[in-house]
Structure 1
Amino acid sequence: MSEKNYDLVILGSGPGGYVAAVRAAQLGMKTAIVERDKLGGICLNWGCIPTKALLRSAEVYDLIERAQEFGLKVEKPTYDAAAVVKRSRDVSERLSRGVGFLMKKNKIDVIEGTGALAGEGKIAVDGKDGKQTLTAKNIILATGARARTLPGLEPDGKLVWTYREAMVPEAMPKSLLVIGSGAIGIEFASFYRAFGCEVTVVEVMDRILPVEDEEISKMAARAFKKRGMKIMTGAKVEKLDKQKDSVKATIANAQGKSETIEVERVISAVGIDGNVEDIGLEEAGIKVEKGHVVVDEWLRTGVKGVYAIGDLVGAPWLAHKAMHEGVIAVEHMAGVKGLHPLDTKKVPGCTYSAPQIASVGLTEAQATEQGHKVKVGRFPFTGNGKAIALGEDQGLIKTIFDEKTGELLGAHMIGAEVTELIQGYTVAKNLETTEAELMHTIFPHPTLSEMMHESVLDAYQKALHI
């Protein structure tokens, strides 16, 4: 068994892993990354990127169907499901190759195989080149997560799908049940609904998108219902009976009564579990709680030289959070001065449904629960010239401030392109901006971003366009 020596070995090449590798290389570390599948991990190959490609196809299809609103004449549009999927896969493949280029550019060794901790400062790899042991001063565990399964609702890859099967349908189902209304579930519900699928979403909580501000969740539910989705909240899928080419689902509704629906396919989107198995955690003495590795504010596991990042260490389960953690871990082990631990209140969240939803910071309820006396501003898309010109006049931007200090506590949005707009408030939070700076900021006209300004003004009874 051969042995190679490194300053840093990273287990997993998802967004957190490959970004950590690049930053380590920039700091002069001899770095290797171990990957058992494709570079880029789940996010790039089976998550963030391919789903956005699918949703872009759905968005374009929806716009074509609305062509008459814009004075355009288009024959009744049709779609090619295989071509839609192929475009999505091509986008992922292109970006995976891009990660490979980054590895070569930064002289990072990519070792194909399955890795596991094998003693202090060691990772054993079983790959296409046989077995080998890598030694390193530091190790980062970035093995990500997988779809959670519930007893009796286990995916089979044919009738009951996880996100993987949902991204590569051989044909568009005529009817679909989505279990779970987080970002993953709602994005798939939006995609399939755009192509005419009858979609039912079942959520065990009392509202969809339960991590979002309640006002935004309610607006989202109305928008999705208007697009033809059936939404059942406070409900639970009790049983799935698989037929030859369909599934009968028994659902306990909010009133506690059971009802049965039959659909062609089911998507299980009930959360994720960290990939903590078979990587040597128990033998190394690394603590695992609720399916995730326990770390401190610097992403240290408690075992000397071993860090963990990304979905493996828990919520929020977001690629950009994993990237940031990768940089923090590398800079901490390198002794970079002036580091700040991750503040999850400054991590934006985005759902690329139709309409889009985005947020950062505290919800109104959370802010109140934490003892803040709040000022809340709202601005509707109906009051914005650019939104009207785009034909996207349905939506809302909501801002929450501490009345005493003017601190921006949270921002919540629903509507066109809000996943791009949210970063303005994220920067503001990171700079500890108050309402005064935001009020004095000039926003270009005509843009959707003007609504961000107006929402701030509205919190202080100074809105100009409502």
Structure 2
Amino acid sequence: MYDVVIIGAGPGGYQAALEAGKQDLKTALIEEKKLGGTCLNVGCIPTKLFLGATEPIEEIKSLTRIRLGKGHFDLSVSALLKRKKNLISATQKAIAQTLKKFNIDIFQDKGIFENKTTLKLQKQNISLSFKNAIIATGTSERVIPGLEFDGNLILSSSQILELEDIPPTLAIIGSGPIGLELGQYFSRLGSKIMLIEALDRPAPLEDPDISKEIFKHLKKEKWELYFKSKVKKITIKDKRVFIHLENEIIEADKCLVAIGRLPNTKNIGLEKIDIATNKGFIPVDNYLKASKNIFAIGDVNGKAMLAHAAADQGEYVIRLIANKENSPYFPKTIPSCIYGFPEVISVGKKELDLKGQEYNITKVPLISNPIAQAHGLGNGFIKVIWQKKQVVGISAVGFRVSHLITLATIIVNQKWTKAQVREHIFAHPTLDESLKEALLQ
């Protein structure tokens, strides 16, 4: 009998298995597809690789704009795709080797619950008995009737990562992190981007001033922007894509549909263990329990659909099982980032969360930051939200602001006061000193 069985080997499942090995728990990790899950194989890792490879294009453009010189960078997309494949393969091997070092049993199979203490492996037709189970099955791209992927002209965020030929025009439905990041990659390589969003601004989950800064940059990059625009259907004619809005039709060479993700909770036997989903997500309590001995972590519980949140939840659950933890998981300060340019970070409360409450804001522009100016990329700002003279939220938009996210998380988590800020020396020249300036305004 296993102390723990884990379904899903993405960031949450992997970290749970790794922590279980460290705690000397007999553990089985079950993954139907590939080790690393969505994040490693078709998500955050390849997209950041693509953005990193095309970043010189952005910098050359900025340095040209401020008349420091001219230049051109020709990216080999075929070489980039090969590097992506090699990096993913090497990381998968490293994951497997690390888990085996901790005596984790890895099964490439689909796990289906038979009851609250037994799980069946579909392909191998064997059953595993367990004391505890962790569901970490993640999410898949949301498919909407009329907007179905065809893998050629209408693409999911996974499928578009395999494109070697850069389309002259690319329509993107959805302006969340996936749409913005992939849009920047293709824009840098020459695609004309048409961004379509049902709501009234880009990155609609961020505060309006963040969205406004993103909007300014996208306009400068000559993206065609369509807000408050609902897509009725997509049609194909003569190898072209036609996106039908309520009052017009947009034509493009390719279309990326990036309108959210849905949890992978079907056909894993939840009905056998008396777990009912809510819109596909598995409800959990403050200890991430879906039932007495079964936990749900990461995207599948819908609490925070971020890889680092899943990893943290996985480690927490194992410590709970090993009696090394007894405090509830929630509330938890979870940071988020959007990459490319401009980058966006957010941690803690946003203005959107504080309607009707008293709060104060301090904000500084990045135009005077020496590191941002060194790259000719001084647009953006850092914003701090205060309640009762304590920091409750930090957000920022601009050049490489993701470098601030860990410090910002610590500050929000510890609810720093201005006196606590003054206890620390912030190095110069860094982006961090603009964070200090925002904190002490």
TM-score, length basis structure 2: 0.96
Deviations 1:85-110 (A, max 9, x none): 22222222222222112212211111
SS at match of 2:17: helix
**C-alpha deviation, 1:418, in angstroms:** 1.1
**C-alpha deviation, 1:366, in angstroms:** 1.8
- Residue in 1 aligned with 2:320? 332
Q: Does 1:39 align with 2:39?
A: no
204 and 439 in structure 1: CA distance in 2 versus 1, 3 angstrom threshold: farther
Mapped partners of 1:63, 1:452: distance in 2: 23
**C-alpha deviation, 1:72, in angstroms:** 5.5
Q: Does 1:98 align with 2:81?
A: no
8 Å contact 1:368–1:374 — kept in the other structure? no
SS at match of 1:365: helix
- Decide which of 380, 385, 393 is 1:395's aligned counterpart: 380
- Residue in 1 aligned with 2:164? 170
Moved more, 82-91 or 235-244: 82-91
Mapped partners of 1:174, 1:201: distance in 2: 14
Deviations 1:94-149 (A, max 9, x none): 2222211221221111111111111121110023xx32111111110111100111
- Residue in 2 aligned with 1:464? none
Mapped partners of 1:67, 1:218: distance in 2: 24
8 Å contact 2:59–2:375 — kept in the other structure? no
- Decide which of 149, 152, 156 is 2:150's aligned counterpart: 156
- Residue in 2 aligned with 1:269? 258
- Decide which of 173, 176, 179 is 1:182's aligned counterpart: 176
**C-alpha deviation, 1:67, in angstroms:** 5.7
**C-alpha deviation, 1:65, in angstroms:** 4.7
**C-alpha deviation, 1:394, in angstroms:** 1.1
Q: Does 1:319 align with 2:307?
A: yes
8 Å contact 2:346–2:396 — kept in the other structure? yes
- Residue in 2 aligned with 1:343? 331
Q: Does 1:305 align with 2:293?
A: yes
8 Å contact 1:193–1:228 — kept in the other structure? no
- Decide which of 288, 299, 310 is 2:277's aligned counterpart: 288
**C-alpha deviation, 1:66, in angstroms:** 5.0
- Residue in 2 aligned with 1:462? none
Q: Does 1:22 align with 2:28?
A: no
Q: State the AA in 1 paired with 2:434.
A: M
5+ residue gaps, structure 2, are none
- Decide which of 248, 252, 268 is 1:259's aligned counterpart: 248
Q: Does 1:114 align with 2:97?
A: no
Mapped partners of 2:229, 2:108: distance in 1: 44
Q: Which has the higher contact order (CA 8 A, sep 6+)?
A: 2
Q: Does 1:411 align with 2:405?
A: no
Q: State the AA in 1 paired with 2:12.
A: G
SS at match of 1:358: strand
- Residue in 2 aligned with 1:353? 340
180 and 63 in structure 1: CA distance in 2 versus 1, 3 angstrom threshold: same
Q: Does 1:449 align with 2:437?
A: no
Mapping of residues 378-393 of structure 1, within 5 Å:
378-393=363-378
**C-alpha deviation, 1:64, in angstroms:** 4.1
8 Å contact 1:10–1:142 — kept in the other structure? yes
SS at match of 1:152: coil
Q: State the AA in 1 paired with 2:216.
A: R
Moved more, 435-444 or 283-292: 435-444
Q: Does 1:375 align with 2:363?
A: no
8 Å contact 1:15–1:322 — kept in the other structure? yes
TM-score, length basis structure 1: 0.91
% of aligned pairs identical?
33
Mapping of residues 423-434 of structure 1, within 5 Å:
423-434=406-417
- Residue in 1 aligned with 2:215? 221
Mapped partners of 1:95, 1:88: distance in 2: 11
Mapped partners of 1:417, 1:361: distance in 2: 19
Mapping of residues 189-268 of structure 1, within 5 Å:
189-252=183-246, 258-268=247-257
Q: State the AA in 2 paired with 1:25.
A: G
**Number of aligned residues:** 440
Superposed CA RMSD: 1.6
8 Å contact 1:34–1:115 — kept in the other structure? yes
**C-alpha deviation, 1:393, in angstroms:** 1.0
SS at match of 2:24: coil
- Residue in 2 aligned with 1:463? none
8 Å contact 2:320–2:326 — kept in the other structure? no
